[in-house]
Amino acid sequence: MTSDTSALLPALAARAAHPEGGGVCRCGPVQTLADRPDATVVRHAGTVAKAHAPETEEAELGRRLATAAALPDVLLAPLAPTATPLHGRLVTFWPYGAPVDPDDPEAAPWEAAATLLARLHRTAPPIGLPPMRGPAKAARAVARLRAAATDGEDPAMAPILRAWAALPAWARAEAPMPCTPSLCHGDLHLGQLVRHPAPDGPWRLIDVDDLGVGVPAWDLARPAAWFACGLLPPDEWTRFLTAYRNAGGPAVPPDGDPWPALDVAARALTVQTAATALAKALTAGRPLDEVEQDVVDACARMTSVPAQLTH
């Protein structure tokens, strides 16, 4: 499936205004929420239209949509059960939900995120659901970093690539994930939560692109990594972890040290974050900012993964 990106955005705007097809709506503006190579998202009134990455497989996306529709108390349910082809991309339609306010960190819904994850992880995965794509996303971030270093290897690449090489093969998407029955989100961060109905309905998880069967610790790994890097205050990490445990989440033991369960995934998400940051900096011809440097420095502090955690 090829993608005509020049024509995609106006066509997507028209479909957001009329998901069932037809002419462009004149009753209000269309807002572009995201426009990246892997996703273009627009909103018209109460409808959000998302054009997925060009390589998205229709059958796998269909299974992920069906899973979201079957779990409306955890995942935002799609407006239509199948994707629509549009200019070489698969498009899905969703109700609009109010996102987390990035300017109000005090209101970050850590407890809600953790509770939703625990519910998701306790749900038996539907038969035929593909693997969770978290490790594959981390591998793509490292590949993009290597591609961005067109003038030779940047010194900051060395600790990132060393930390990546030290991970077990499954965390680098080079081998199957350890056998696990868990249903996972695959790309959890606060941008993946919305209130529906907007503006003050219950929180729901969004974005099914990486949804699948896998290691549930991956869904806790980004906040765990932020905490380990000093980017997430200890009290917020404690709120998140406590809420997950209180909701019966299976990714970590119900008490005691959670890090043996989280270590590999947290390292992988740290490498992914650092690789993405450095690739963007190299592409833009700018130095790393303070936060980006902190994540690269965290990669430099990583020693080899303990042998008992590599399987």
* 14-22 mean pLDDT: 69
Residue 194 falls inside a structural domain: yes
CB 296 within 8 A of CB 160: yes
CATH of the domain at 212: 3.90.1200
Q: Which pLDDT score, from 0 to 100, does residue 2 have?
A: 45
The pLDDT of residue 13: 75
Distance of CA 157 to the CA centre of its chain: 23
Q: Indicate whether 70 and 149 sit together in one domain.
A: no
| CA pair distance 66, 44, nearest whole angstrom | 23
**Whether residue 24 has pLDDT greater than 60:** no
Count how many domains the chain has. Answer: 2
Domain that holds residue 114: 105-309
The answer to whether residues 69 and 110 belong to one domain is no
- Residue 227, H or E segment: helix 217-229
Same domain, 115 and 11: no
pLDDT at 155: 86
Q: Give yes or no for residue 271 having a pLDDT over 60.
A: yes
User: Given this model, what pLDDT does residue 27 score?
Assistant: 58
Q: What is the pLDDT of residues 213-222, one digit of tens each?
A: 999 999 999 9
Q: Write down the pLDDT at residue 25.
A: 53
Question: CA neighbours within 13 Å on the CB side: how many for 58?
Answer: 11
Q: Read off the tokens for 115.
A: 């509770």
| 80/126 same-domain check | no
Given a contact cutoff of 8 angstroms between Cβ atoms, the answer to whether 98 and 198 are in contact is: yes
137 and 88 in one domain? no
Whether 100 is covered by a domain: the verdict is: no
Q: Which one of 74, 95, 116 terminates a domain?
A: 95
Tell whether 267 is covered by a domain. Answer: yes
Residue 15: predicted pLDDT: 76
The region of weakest confidence among 37-46, 71-80, 161-170, 237-246 is 37-46
Cα 282 from chain centroid (whole Å): 23
Is residue 1 scored above 50 in pLDDT? Answer: no
Please state the rounded mean pLDDT for residues 271-295: 96
pLDDT over 80 (residue 96): yes
Of 76, 95, 114, which residue constitutes the final position of a domain?
95
Do 124 and 254 reside in the same domain of the chain? yes
**Maximal CA-CA distance, the chain:** 61
Distance CA 90, CA 51 (A): 6
Residue 254 lies in a domain: yes
For the chain, percent of residues with pLDDT exceeding 90:
79
pLDDT-derived band at 310 (thresholds 50, 70, 90) equals: low
Domain-ending residue, one of 95, 113, 143: 95
Residue 188 falls inside a structural domain: yes
Structural domain contains residue 304: yes
The average confidence (pLDDT) of the chain is: 91
Same domain, 176 and 288: yes
**Which of 35-49, 158-172, 239-253 has the least mean pLDDT?**
35-49
Give the domain CATH number at 79.
Answer: 3.30.200.20
234 lies in a domain?
yes
Is the same domain home to 159 and 284? yes
Give per-residue pLDDT as tens, 233-269.
Answer: 999 999 999 999 999 999 999 999 999 999 999 999 9
User: Is 44 contained in some domain?
Assistant: yes
Is there a single domain that holds both residue 116 and residue 220?
A: yes
Asked whether residue 88 falls in the same domain as residue 109, the answer is no
Residue 218: predicted pLDDT: 98
19 pLDDT more than 90: no
Same domain, 134 and 244: yes
For residues 142 and 85, state if they share a domain: no
Average pLDDT over residues 25-32: 72
